[in-house]
Amino acid sequence: MADNSLTDPKDMFSIAYLQMLTAHIKHSFVDCSGTSKDKKGVDCEVFKTECLEVYFQAKCTSISSKSMIEEDENYIYYNFDIKKYKAHYKKYLALIILPADAEFEQWLETNFLFEIKDPNKSGLLLKARAFYLPINGSYDLGKPPNSNRSNNLVKIPKTNILNQNSLLKMVELVENPEQTL
Amino acid sequence: MMYNINQFQFEKDLYIAGFDYKVSNSGNFKIWRRKDSNLYLVTPQDSNDINSFENYIEDNICSLIKILNVNKDYSNDEFVDIFINKKYPINSRIETKSTTVPSDYLFTLLTSTMKSYRYFREYNYEYKKMGTKNFEVGHSKKGSYKIPILVSLEEDVLSDFESQINIMSNTLFHQEREPNPVLKSIVEFSKSLDKLNNLDKHSESTKFIDIVMENKLNSHIVETFLSVNRSFQKVREDYKDLIKHSYIEFESNPILDFDVNP
Residue B127 above 80 pLDDT? no
In the predicted model, what is the mean pLDDT of residues B3-11?
A: 87
Q: How far is residue A46 from each of residues A32, A52, A92, A126, A174, measured CA to CA in Å? A: 11, 9, 11, 21, 11
> Could you tell me if residue B258 is inside a domain?
no
Contacts of B2 in chain A (CB under 8 A): none
Alpha-carbon separation of residue A65 from A60, A62, A102, A158, B229 (angstroms): 10, 6, 11, 18, 81
Average the pLDDT over A166-175 and give the result: 95
Alpha-carbon torsion (A151, A152, A157, A161), positive or negative: negative
- Is residue B134 located within the same domain as residue B102? yes
Q: Where are the domains of chain A?
A: 9-180
Rounded to the nearest 10°, the torsion over CA A129, A33, A177, A50 is -120
Q: Which residue has the higher pLDDT, B188 or B89?
A: B89
Q: Are residues B91 and B71 in the same domain?
A: no
User: Cβ–Cβ contacts within 10 Å for residue A2, how many?
Assistant: 11
B52, amino acid identity? S
Please check whether residues B72 and B101 belong to one and the same domain.
no
By C-alpha distance, which of B160, B174, B150, B179 is closest to B84? B150
Containing domain of residue B203, as a range? 86-250
- Pair B150, B82: CB distance under 8 Å: yes
Structurally, chain B folds into a number of domains equal to: 2
- Rounded to 5°, angle at Cα A141 from A135 and A143: 140
Whether B260 is in a domain gets the answer: no
pLDDT (0 to 100) of residue B171: 45
Are B46 and B165 contained in the same domain? no
B99 and B128 part of one domain: yes
Does residue B128 carry a pLDDT above 90?
Answer: no
Interface test with A, best of B39, B50, B65 (most A CBs within 10 A): B39
Which is more confidently placed, A111 or B42?
Answer: B42
- The confidence score (pLDDT) of residue B199 equals 67
- Decide if B180 contacts B160 (C-beta within 8 A): yes
Res B174 pLDDT > 70? no
Of B33, B57, B80, which one is at a domain's C-terminal end?
B80
pLDDT value at residue B200: 59
If one counts every other C-beta atom within 10 angstroms of the C-beta of residue B8, the result is: 10
Pick A87's closest partner by Cβ from B22, B55, B63: B55
pLDDT, tens digit, 9 for 90 and up, residues B187-241: 788 888 777 777 655 555 555 566 666 666 677 777 777 666 667 778 888 888 8
Please report whether residue B221 resides in a domain: yes
| Domain assignment present for B39 | yes
Phi/psi at A106 (5° precision): -95, 0
SS3 (DSSP) at A142: coil
> B75 and B20, same structural domain?
yes
Closest CA to A90 of A149, A14, A176, A1: A176
Distance from the A110 Cα atom to the nearest Cα atom in chain B, whole angstroms: 40
User: What is residue B235's predicted lDDT score, i.e. its pLDDT?
Assistant: 86
Residues 20-49 of B with CB under 8 A from A: 22, 24-26, 28-29, 31, 38-40, 42
Q: Is the CB of B31 less than 8 angstroms away from the CB of A50?
A: no
Q: Among residues 115-154 of chain B, which lie with CB inside 8 Å of chain A? A: none
B15 with B112, same domain: the answer is no
Helix (H) and strand (E) counts in chain B: 9, 7
Contacts of A86 in chain B (CB under 8 A): 51, 55
Same domain for B43 and B108, yes or no, is: no
- A132 compared with B46, residue with greater pLDDT: A132
> What is the ipTM score, two decimals?
0.81
pLDDT on residue B99: 84
> Looking at chain A, which residue has its C-alpha nearest residue B58?
A51
For B211, B224, B248, the CA distances from B240, given in Å and listed in that order, are 22, 18, 17
Choose among A51, A52, A178: nearest Cβ to B25.
A178
- Shortest CA gap A2–chain B (Å): 16
Nearest Cβ partner for B66 among A50, A88, A175: A50
d(CA A64, CA A76): 14
Predicted pLDDT of residue A46: 97
B257 within some domain: no
Would you call B1 and A50 a contact, using CB atoms and an 8 Å cutoff? no
Examine the domain organization and report whether B58 and B160 are in the same domain.
no
Q: What is the pLDDT of residue A113?
A: 62
- pLDDT, greater one: B122 or B165: B122
The answer to whether A88 contacts B62, with C-beta atoms less than 8 Å apart, is no
Mean pLDDT along residues A171-179: 90
Are B71 and B176 in a shared domain? no
Residue B40 sits in the same domain as residue B94? no
Q: How confident is the model at residue A20 (pLDDT cuts 50, 70, 90)?
A: very high
What's the pLDDT tens digit per position in A88-131? 889 999 999 999 999 999 999 887 766 666 767 778 889 999 99
Same domain, B126 and B186: yes
